[in-house]
Amino acid sequence: MRRKYLATLHGVTKRNVIAFYSGWLQKPGIRTPDFEINDAKMTGFMTVINKLDRKLGLDLILHTPGGEINATEALVNYLRYAFNGDIRAIVPHQAMSAGTMISLACKSIVMGAHSSLGPIDPQVGGAPAHGILEEFRKAQEAFKQNPHEAKAWLPILEKYTPTLVGKCERAVEMAEKIVGSWLETGMLNGQADAVKLKEKILEEFGSHKLSLDHGRHFNYDKVKAIGVTVERLEDDAPLQDAVLSVHHAFTVTLMQSMATSIIENHIGSAFVNQMAIPPQLQLPPGIVQIPNSPVPGPRSGLPIPPPTNEPTEPASQPAGS
């Protein structure tokens, strides 16, 4: 069903389609690096870009909580190289944090009334870098004005490592520099007010003081008001039907299988990460385990299998990632 609807979406847009899905919402009690954007995802994208007609550009469907900034930078640079910058992001539900960074690196973003982007303020040790810097500066000011009362800050400051503040400053600078460069060379390229728009976008998406929470959801209206080049999914009925069909097919897969993330294109090539389970454990009812099989890719020499609607048979042994 996923491959059927990916092919249908390609028929609507006449562009390459790659879906990048994470199962963090479908597996809320599980913690795994597979949910996040990391360096391991590069292999998946290399696999699914192989044999695509790159002149058609790319519609990149994103459903991700985010991930590592360095891995995100490398992935965006590769995608821009592969498709000569002709990339449109489609967000059927959520593309948060680094997923928002990828979206802002595209020429435009397609969002529905139910779609969300999120703040891109970097996190250091699970805490917002902007928040740590603001807290540290408040403490500095308190010690200047009233050193005696400022002693209340000592238990907080003692938790800071010697290099934490510097690390936060570099993380903030890096995020703004990377996304700012992508905006200049992509979405805002050629616009008369590009510099002003870039600063506004970076401020609205990057300031922890404005967003207040790293998990804040920015809907279509908010994103449009900020100045981002965004298209409303509901304005194109055939596109909406195809995108939501893809989204529901991937959601069902992530709910009813051991898959943790899926990168898949419209010609049937996929790269799937799965949870490994001990042989002594039985799968819960309704969970289908996908059998181990070689993943076709640029170095495998294996043919890419055609799309199929045949049901997957349960494996006789646990599948790894």
Q: Are 298 and 47 in contact (CB under 8 A)?
A: yes
At 124, give phi and psi (nearest 5°).
-125, 115
Which of 250, 274, 298 corresponds to the end of one domain?
274
Tell me the pLDDT band of 294, cut-offs 50, 70 and 90: very low
Tell me the pLDDT band of 168, cut-offs 50, 70 and 90: confident
Least reliable range by pLDDT among 107-116, 257-266, 300-309: 300-309
Average pLDDT over residues 127-146: 69
Q: Is residue 204 included in any domain, yes or no?
A: no
pLDDT value of position 310: 46
Question: Do 6 and 111 fall within a single domain?
Answer: yes
Question: Do 35 and 106 fall within a single domain?
Answer: yes
Least reliable range by pLDDT among 105-114, 193-202, 280-289, 300-309: 300-309
Q: Is residue 50 included in any domain, yes or no?
A: yes
pLDDT value of position 105: 97
Question: Do 159 and 46 fall within a single domain?
Answer: no
227-268 tens-digit pLDDT: 999 999 999 999 999 999 999 999 999 999 999 999 999 999
Which of 232, 256, 274 corresponds to the end of one domain?
274
- pLDDT tops 70 at residue 158: no
Question: Do 23 and 165 fall within a single domain?
Answer: no
Share of the chain above pLDDT 90, in %: 58
Long-range contacts of 272-280 (CB under 8 A, 24+ apart): 273/34, 273/40, 273/44, 273/321, 274/319, 274/320, 274/321, 275/30, 275/32, 275/34, 275/321, 276/318, 276/319, 276/320, 276/321, 277/318, 278/318, 279/317, 279/318
Q: Is residue 315 included in any domain, yes or no?
A: no
Residue 74: other Cβ atoms inside 10 A: 15
For 164-178, b/e burial (b = at least 16 CB within 10 A) is bbeebeebbeebbeb
Q: Is residue 180 included in any domain, yes or no?
A: no
- pLDDT tops 70 at residue 211: no
Least reliable range by pLDDT among 32-41, 69-78, 163-172: 163-172
Question: Do 96 and 46 fall within a single domain?
Answer: yes
Q: Is residue 103 included in any domain, yes or no?
A: yes
Question: Do 132 and 92 fall within a single domain?
Answer: no
Question: Do 11 and 114 fall within a single domain?
Answer: yes
Question: Do 132 and 230 fall within a single domain?
Answer: no
Q: Is residue 234 included in any domain, yes or no?
A: yes
Q: Is residue 296 included in any domain, yes or no?
A: no
Question: Do 227 and 133 fall within a single domain?
Answer: no
Average pLDDT over residues 12-19: 98
Question: Do 65 and 143 fall within a single domain?
Answer: no
Dihedral sign, Cα of residue 242, residue 245, residue 251, residue 254: negative
Domain span holding position 150: 123-169
Q: Is residue 229 included in any domain, yes or no?
A: yes
Could you give the number of structural domains in the chain? 2
Question: Do 114 and 223 fall within a single domain?
Answer: yes
Question: Do 112 and 11 fall within a single domain?
Answer: yes
CATH number at residue 15: 3.90.226
176-190 tens-digit pLDDT: 899 999 999 999 998
Which of 274, 300, 316 corresponds to the end of one domain?
274
pLDDT value of position 31: 85
pTM, to two decimals: 0.78
Average pLDDT over residues 8-21: 98
On the CB side of 258, CA atoms within 13 Å amount to 21
